[in-house]
């Protein structure tokens, strides 16, 4: 029911009537240990239980894949429903009648009706094309084509692949005799009005692939010719239902496989996707030939944190996809690039070499994005000449400057120096130039920029008892705030001023919580968990709730201790930042200034300890 908003009271009534242990217990075998119940995680493959459900908290959290949420999140995730749909499902489960849909205006209703009709007509058209693949007099060529592509009958059936026969009015006539409104077919770009009168079919003599959204509803079609006619591929035009920048082909089929594999493979077209599925490689989706967009990246991020791009090395599609890499990274995805032998697409590769080869040699050897970009650059320049080397270093430095991780940056720079046999200092000098132009103005009073705060910590990710201490301080602070202790808002403001985070994601969380408090909301961790769509934030919220660090007694004292701890962290970061700059700086005057800064910071650090 889009456009319909349930009241908080109603949501709480539904929540109260659906105990999370009962709801999850219907799908997952749970065993009680203390106040917590444990089972095998339904969101990732495992042999020993790391999925916990808490009666007290009325939330679940997986220590393996960090899936987390409330009873509503669980239903949303397992049944792939929107939040309102999950509320309705659980209301029905508890026999709670839905409230009157007050927010449903006639205009909203009319729009919904129109969309429902569009979906229905697409469904009818899918059925029609399927029947034509079996019956049309000229369909044998299409069936032969699919067989040549190695697609077995059961996959063809499951994916509802069909055939648009040759001729100009097959679909028009079939629609007329089934009383399907022609205006709707026009809206969907399946038929076109003639200049005089009547209509003609857009898709003729083509294999028809239904393009479905992530819920499996057909929103468009892709048509592939059987001969050398052009265009080889023809897609439905964009419509109310079909926005190709917001859609990934095959997600409805691939999503459970993506969950199991822990990553998604992105290929160029739907035929590659179908081929992969045919060979049992399920975690594959396709972009529809455009540069990747932010909505697509976010869509992927709902299902996984890791993406492997798998394109023909020489295709224009790869170039388009490379333009989208930054978007994927920005959406928080880890990106790798798998390159296929020149001139081959995944389909060729699978047919000629089989699934194991594809999984191990192609996907298994995918390069992290930076390595991939560097190897592309290496090909571009003549590294036997001095000119080529210096141009390569400049180009490589611009790639490295975008990295968020200092350790990785340094390691890459050292490797480049070794590889092309130039002094490390030369590569670092170039990198410093780029870093200066790439990073925002150096900021706060401690002399560290916003970026470096999380950078240094990213480098400390190995179990570090000191970092752990800071993390516990953050868990405690957030725990206090989520329990609405007095002075929560001031706590968050003070923390934002320090601008230091042992968990980088806490910057976002602190902002979110402060916003809520400033809107006059009482924080409710379950409602918050339901509202956040970012998996990272959701995971962090659950971590805080599950951490054993909560100390509600003497909240004020605990809070000020924790803030003190974060002040220490801020100074540590600032010191590390200055030291790092000192290592690379050659200018004597700047070095002198940096040494002075360092001295001041060390004094401050001592002051805090006493």
Shortest reach from residue 65's CB to Zn ion, in Å? 3
Q: Which residues contact 45 (CB under 8 A, 6 or more apart)?
A: 260
Cβ proximity to Zn ion, 65 vs 455, nearer residue: 65
Cβ proximity to Zn ion, 71 vs 393, nearer residue: 71
Cβ proximity to Zn ion, 54 vs 293, nearer residue: 54
Cβ proximity to Zn ion, 44 vs 378, nearer residue: 44
H helices, E strands: number in the chain: 27, 16
What token pair was written down for 211? Answer: 């393009």
Shortest reach from residue 248's CB to Zn ion, in Å? 23
Compute the 3-state secondary structure of the chain and give helix, strand, coil in percent, each to the nearest 5: 55, 10, 35
**Which DSSP category does 360 fall into?**
I
Shortest reach from residue 70's CB to Zn ion, in Å? 16
Shortest reach from residue 257's CB to Zn ion, in Å? 15
Q: Give DSSP secondary structure letters for 451-475.
A: HHHHHHHHTT-S--HHHHHHHHHHH
Q: Are 253 and 215 in contact (CB under 8 A)?
A: no
What token pair was written down for 527? Answer: 């409602």
In angstroms, the first-to-last Cα distance of the chain is 60
Cβ proximity to Zn ion, 41 vs 156, nearer residue: 41
Q: What are phi and psi of 366, to 5 degrees?
A: -60, 140
Cβ proximity to Zn ion, 43 vs 503, nearer residue: 43
Cβ proximity to Zn ion, 44 vs 302, nearer residue: 44
Handedness of CA 455, 461, 465, 468 (dihedral sign): positive
Residue by residue, what is the 3-state secondary structure of 132-185? HHHHCCCCHHHHHHHHHCCCCHHHHHHCCCEEECCCCCHHHHHHHHCCCCHHHH
Handedness of CA 355, 361, 362, 363 (dihedral sign): positive
Partnered with residue 481 across adjacent β-strands are: none
Cβ proximity to Zn ion, 41 vs 75, nearer residue: 41
Residue by residue, what is the 3-state secondary structure of 285-353? EECCCCCCCHHHHHHHHCCCCEEEEEEECCCHHHHHHHHCHHHHHHCCCEEEEEEECCCCCHHHHHHHH
Cβ proximity to Zn ion, 41 vs 478, nearer residue: 41
Q: Which residues contact 153 (CB under 8 A, 6 or more apart)?
A: none
Shortest reach from residue 48's CB to Zn ion, in Å? 11
Cβ proximity to Zn ion, 62 vs 174, nearer residue: 62
Distances (CA, A) of 526 to 45, 68, 249, 530: 26, 11, 33, 6
**Which DSSP category does 445 fall into?**
T
Q: Are 10 and 99 in contact (CB under 8 A)?
A: yes
Strands 51-54 and 36-39 turn out to be antiparallel
Shortest reach from residue 62's CB to Zn ion, in Å? 3
Cβ proximity to Zn ion, 250 vs 259, nearer residue: 259
Enumerate binding residues for Zn ion (CB under 5 A): 41, 43-44, 62, 64-65, 67
Q: CA 207, CA 221: separation in Å to the nearest integer?
A: 10
| C-alpha of 238 from chain center | 23
Biggest CA pair distance of the chain:
90
Shortest reach from residue 50's CB to Zn ion, in Å? 6
Shortest reach from residue 479's CB to Zn ion, in Å? 23
Shortest reach from residue 77's CB to Zn ion, in Å? 11
Strands 367-368 and 334-340 turn out to be antiparallel
Shortest reach from residue 74's CB to Zn ion, in Å? 12
**Which DSSP category does 100 fall into?**
P
Shortest reach from residue 127's CB to Zn ion, in Å? 38
Cβ proximity to Zn ion, 76 vs 325, nearer residue: 76
Distances (CA, A) of 122 to 1, 107, 116, 160, 494: 20, 23, 10, 12, 55
Shortest reach from residue 41's CB to Zn ion, in Å? 3
CA dihedral 37, 39, 44, 46 (to 10 degrees): 130
Shortest reach from residue 42's CB to Zn ion, in Å? 8
Shortest reach from residue 79's CB to Zn ion, in Å? 17
Q: CA 598, CA 113: separation in Å to the nearest integer?
A: 67
Q: CA 264, CA 552: separation in Å to the nearest integer?
A: 42
Cβ proximity to Zn ion, 353 vs 547, nearer residue: 547
Cβ proximity to Zn ion, 37 vs 271, nearer residue: 37
């Amino acid at each position: 029911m889009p456009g319909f908003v349930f009241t908080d009271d109603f949501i709480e009534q539904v929540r109260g009537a659906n105990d999370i242990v009962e709801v999850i217990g219907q799908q997952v075998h749970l065993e009680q240990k203390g106040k917590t119940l444990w089972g095998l995680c339904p969101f990732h493959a495992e042999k020993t239980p790391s999925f916990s459900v808490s009666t007290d908290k009325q939330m679940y959290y997986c220590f393996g894949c960090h899936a987390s949420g409330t009873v509503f999140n669980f239903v949303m995730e397992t049944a792939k429903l929107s939040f309102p749909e999950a509320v309705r499902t659980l209301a029905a489960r508890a026999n709670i009648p839905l409230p009157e849909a007050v927010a449903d205006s006639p205009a909203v209703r009319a729009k919904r009706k129109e969309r429902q009709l569009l979906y229905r007509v697409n469904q009818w058209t899918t059925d029609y094309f399927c029947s034509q693949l079996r019956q049309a007099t000229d369909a044998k060529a299409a069936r032969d084509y699919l067989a040549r592509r190695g697609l077995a009958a059961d996959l063809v059936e499951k994916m509802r692949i069909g055939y648009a026969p040759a001729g100009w009015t097959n679909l028009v006539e079939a629609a007329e005799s089934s009383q399907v409104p022609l205006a709707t077919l026009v809206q969907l770009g399946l038929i076109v009005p003639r200049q005089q009168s009547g209509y003609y079919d857009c898709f003729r003599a083509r294999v028809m692939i239904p393009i479905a959204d992530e819920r499996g509803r057909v929103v468009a079609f892709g048509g592939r010719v059987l001969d050398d006619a052009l265009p080889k591929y023809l897609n439905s035009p964009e419509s109310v239902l079909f926005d190709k920048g917001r859609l990934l082909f095959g997600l409805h089929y691939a999503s459970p496989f993506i969950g199991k594999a822990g990553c998604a493979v992105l290929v160029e077209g739907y035929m590659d996707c179908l081929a992969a599925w045919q060979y049992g490689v399920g975690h594959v989706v396709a972009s529809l030939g455009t540069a990747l967009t932010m909505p697509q990246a976010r869509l992927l991020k709902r299902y996984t944190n890791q993406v492997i791009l798998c394109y023909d090395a020489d295709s224009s599609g790869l170039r388009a996809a490379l333009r989208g890499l930054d978007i994927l990274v920005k959406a928080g995805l880890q990106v790798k690039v798998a390159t296929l032998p020149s001139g081959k697409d995944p389909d060729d590769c699978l047919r000629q070499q089989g699934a194991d080869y594809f999984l191990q040699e192609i996907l298994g050897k995918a390069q992290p994005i930076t390595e991939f970009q560097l190897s592309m650059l290496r090909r571009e320049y003549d590294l036997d000449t001095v000119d080529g080397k210096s141009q390569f270093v400049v180009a490589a430095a611009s790639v490295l400057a975008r990295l968020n991780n200092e350790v990785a940056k340094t390691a890459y720079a050292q490797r480049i120096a070794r590889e092309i046999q130039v002094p490390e200092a030369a590569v670092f000098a170039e990198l410093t130039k780029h870093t200066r132009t790439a990073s925002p103005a150096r900021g706060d009073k401690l002399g560290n920029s916003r970026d470096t705060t999380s950078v240094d910590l990213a480098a400390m990710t190995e179990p570090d008892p000191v970092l752990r201490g800071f993390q516990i301080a953050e868990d405690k602070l957030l725990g206090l705030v989520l329990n609405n202790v007095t002075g929560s808002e001031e706590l968050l403001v003070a923390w934002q001023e320090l601008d230091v985070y042992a968990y980088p994601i806490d910057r976002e969380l602190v902002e979110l919580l402060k916003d809520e408090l400033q809107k006059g909301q009482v924080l409710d961790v379950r409602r918050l968990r339901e509202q956040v769509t970012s998996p990272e934030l959701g995971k962090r919220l659950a971590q805080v709730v599950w951490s054993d660090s909560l100390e509600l007694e003497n909240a004020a004292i605990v809070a000020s201790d924790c803030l003190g701890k974060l002040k220490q962290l801020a100074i540590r970061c600032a010191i590390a930042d200055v030291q790092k700059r000192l290592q690379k700086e050659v200018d004597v005057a700047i070095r002198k200034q940096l040494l002075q800064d360092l001295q001041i910071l060390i004094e401050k650090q001592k002051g805090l300890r006493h």
